[in-house]
Amino acid sequence: MFRKVLIANRGEIAVRVLRTCRELGIATVAVYSELDRDALHVRLADEAWALGGSTAAESYLNTEAILEAIRSSGAEAVHPGYGFFSENADFARAITAEGVAFVGPPPEAIEVMGDKISARKAAERGGVAGVPGRSEPLQNPDELVAFGEEFGWPVAVKAAYGGGGRGMKVVNSAAEAAAAMESAQREAKGAFGRDEVYPERYLAWPRHVEMQVFADTHGNAVWLGERDCSAQRRHQKLVEEAPAPALPDDIRTAMGEAAVSVARACGYVNAGTVEFLFQDGDFFFLEMNTRLQVEHPVTEAITGMDLVAEQLRIAAGQPLSFGQDDVERRGHAIECRINAEDPAGGRFLPSPGKITKLVAPDGPFTRFDAGYASGDEVSQYYDNLVAKLVVWGQDREEARKRMLRALEELEVEGIATTVPAHKAILSSPEFAAATHSTKWVEERLDLSGVAATPAAPAGPAEEGDGQAPRVRRDVDVEVNGRRYSVALWVPDVGPVVVAGTAAAGAGGRPRPKAAASSAHGGAAGAGQVTVPMQGTIVKVLVKVGDAVEVGRPLCVLEAMKMENNIEAGTAGTVSDIRVEPGSAVGAGDVVMVIE
Ligand code: MV4
């Protein structure tokens, strides 16, 4: 087994992985961006190395910086978590070239599954059916029309290099074909740099059922069980459960064996998830995720297995510690993703900021995997997953009630979270009866009664809560006679003297002054346009002097990878613009004035 593992990730998954490493006696190495210097995963790791930078591209996606941390720490393996480099074949190659193990599949398998057309072909080689469709790129709209006439409308046009729901268009008739194909190609080119698209029959009310598989380097491959992830919104999963409700045992077994065939067909090793659409008793291969998934704990809960431990054993070259017949599933598990988003009115607005209070639920069969603790800041630069709440019950109904109880116990203050939406989902008759599908949250669930969470106070530094922004002080220290240069990150409390060096002035970017009223979206007071959340202005859509109507988009605010239009709350003339592209703003900041 490895002696030291570097975790190339942050937040809850970095914490999750390092806990198993500790149980296995493996030393843990954290890496961190400048914003994460005091993050939970850094506090919990045995050692931590700075990557520099704030954005993901500058830090957790900086191959050179991570390679440097691997070399400095002497880590023997890298666990990529999910997101970031987890499905990046070039990164896997770069670290294995240095003799360091990648805790994940071979790069060739990542590449086969990264292209949805070659993934369909791999499934076909394994004898597994995808949704009826074509496994070649469309050359022109006539081919799309011919497909629709043969298989029936509607048709899904999908980007070969897409993912997470981007680059998919639904075509209802031959008349829409040309425009839809062009739009799918344009979106795919913009997002992924490749514009190949292919058609599939569109399934209107499917459930999303995915199968966990494991394969080792000795030729063994097994399936552990499925998860149902149908409760989602805009391709962001909200609730996952295992087993999938009302899935007949013979279908489960067939799906498990199909998933193992797909894994074998692409030379898969380590943990993987094969996604299926399930409708009217049939299941169809959709894609394969070549990483550990966010929702893996529900499978852990019903199988009693530690999936990260198994990943590490496989990466170290050991055979699977169990065979197919050793896998037992018991009871039912549900997971809620606690995101920093305000679900008021079904809008799910990003809600970064400082968590002023976090009290985790506890009690029977209740697991809380958090990436943050009270006092930690959820940055607009990373994803919005704060924690995962997982419960187990003897059956689905016991688990459902236990989850509602645990959600009641959970206390989060300072940021808005998805908890009100989870309560609405878990207590709805449709979810209780498991008649929901992938479109149910968006099209049927009524979230209009979910009230806005009071806006978090603006940035902590400006609020005088005792947490001044931190600044760097370089200090020389001697440890057992050896001289070290140490960077201290200390609160900037004005001119102080540290080790004989006078401090420089306050750091940090200037921000527009906050409005007296912290309106939650739109306009405050007499034509003052405020932003409802912390983020970065990426576009300004008007000029001083422009006449605007109510609802006219004024600027675009990016927070947590989502763009939000800031619209005029009153009609009038733009008299003042206080931001430009790149401006950092906080909740309640005035960005423009309309007179
Ligand atoms: C589909 C589909 C219906 N028919 N393909 C969306 C994300 C991408 N991974 C595949 N997706 C879908 N593909 C056919 N032929 C419906 C979806 C879909 C979906 C799938 C899984 C989970 C949530 C979803 C939400 C909307 C659409």
pLDDT along the chain (595 residues), means of 10: 98 98 98 96 96 95 97 97 97 97 98 96 97 96 97 96 81 96 90 92 95 98 97 94 97 98 98 96 96 98 98 98 98 98 93 97 98 97 97 98 98 97 96 93 90 58 55 79 78 54 38 38 67 91 95 91 86 95 91 95
pTM as predicted? 0.82
Mutate to test the pocket of ligand 1, among 203, 230, 289 (most ligand atoms within 8 A of CB): 203
Q: Give the H or E element holding residue 182.
A: helix 177-192
* Core vs surface per residue 543-577: b (16+ CB within 10 A) or e: eeebebeeebebbbbbbbebebebbbbbebebeeb
Per-residue model confidence (pLDDT) at position 497: 46
Q: What is the DSSP letter of 428?
A: S
Nearest residue CA, atom 20 of ligand 1? Answer: 208
Q: Which two tokens stand for residue 32?
A: 């961190």
Nearest residue CA, atom 16 of ligand 1? Answer: 203
Q: How far is the CA of 128 from the centre of ligand 1 (A)?
A: 18
Per-residue model confidence (pLDDT) at position 455: 54
> Angle, nearest 10°, between helix axes 89-96 and 107-114?
170
List, in order, residues 6 or more apart from 112 with CB less than 8 Å away: 118, 119, 122, 266
Per-residue model confidence (pLDDT) at position 565: 87
The ligand 1 atom nearest the CA atom of 200: 15
Q: How far is the CA of 397 from the centre of ligand 1 (A)?
A: 27
Q: Which two tokens stand for residue 407?
A: 């959600």
Nearest residue CA, atom 15 of ligand 1? Answer: 202
Q: How far is the CA of 205 from the centre of ligand 1 (A)?
A: 10
Nearest residue CA, atom 22 of ligand 1? Answer: 208
Q: Which two tokens stand for residue 408?
A: 């009641």
Nearest residue CA, atom 12 of ligand 1? Answer: 165
- What sign has the CA pseudo-torsion 151, 157, 161, 162? negative
Per-residue model confidence (pLDDT) at position 56: 94
Per-residue model confidence (pLDDT) at position 516: 33
Beta bridge partners of 473: 488
Nearest residue CA, atom 21 of ligand 1? Answer: 208
Per-residue model confidence (pLDDT) at position 468: 66
Per-residue model confidence (pLDDT) at position 245: 97
E strands in 80-131: 101-102
Nearest residue CA, atom 8 of ligand 1? Answer: 165
Q: Which two tokens stand for residue 401?
A: 């009630």
Q: How far is the CA of 165 from the centre of ligand 1 (A)?
A: 7
Q: Which two tokens stand for residue 146?
A: 């011919």
The ligand 1 atom nearest the CA atom of 133: 15
Mutate to test the pocket of ligand 1, among 117, 151, 168, 210 (most ligand atoms within 8 A of CB): 168
Q: Give the H or E element holding residue 275.
A: strand 270-279
Give the distance, in angstroms, between the CA of residue 131 and the centroid of all CA atoms in the same chain.
26
Q: How far is the CA of 213 from the centre of ligand 1 (A)?
A: 21
Report helix, strand or coil for 268: coil
Q: How far is the CA of 438 from the centre of ligand 1 (A)?
A: 8
Report which of 149, 276, 154, 140 is spatially closest to residue 196, judged by C-alpha positions: 140
Strand 197-201 versus strand 166-171 pairing type: unpaired
Q: Are 285 and 128 in contact (CB under 8 A)?
A: yes
**CA pair distance 217, 261, nearest whole angstrom:** 16
Q: How far is the CA of 437 from the centre of ligand 1 (A)?
A: 11
Q: How far is the CA of 203 from the centre of ligand 1 (A)?
A: 8
Per-residue model confidence (pLDDT) at position 475: 85
Mutate to test the pocket of ligand 1, among 277, 283, 284 (most ligand atoms within 8 A of CB): 277
**CA pair distance 444, 435, nearest whole angstrom:** 11
Nearest residue CA, atom 25 of ligand 1? Answer: 438
Q: Which two tokens stand for residue 511?
A: 């921000």
Place of tokens 């206390």: 411
Per-residue model confidence (pLDDT) at position 379: 96
**CA pair distance 393, 402, nearest whole angstrom:** 7
Q: How far is the CA of 77 from the centre of ligand 1 (A)?
A: 34
Query: Which residues form the pocket of ligand 1, taking CB atoms under 6 Å from any ligand atom?
Result: 131, 156, 165, 168, 200-203, 206, 208, 232, 235, 277, 286-287, 438
Per-residue model confidence (pLDDT) at position 460: 44
The ligand 1 atom nearest the CA atom of 165: 7
Compute the residue count for the chain.
595
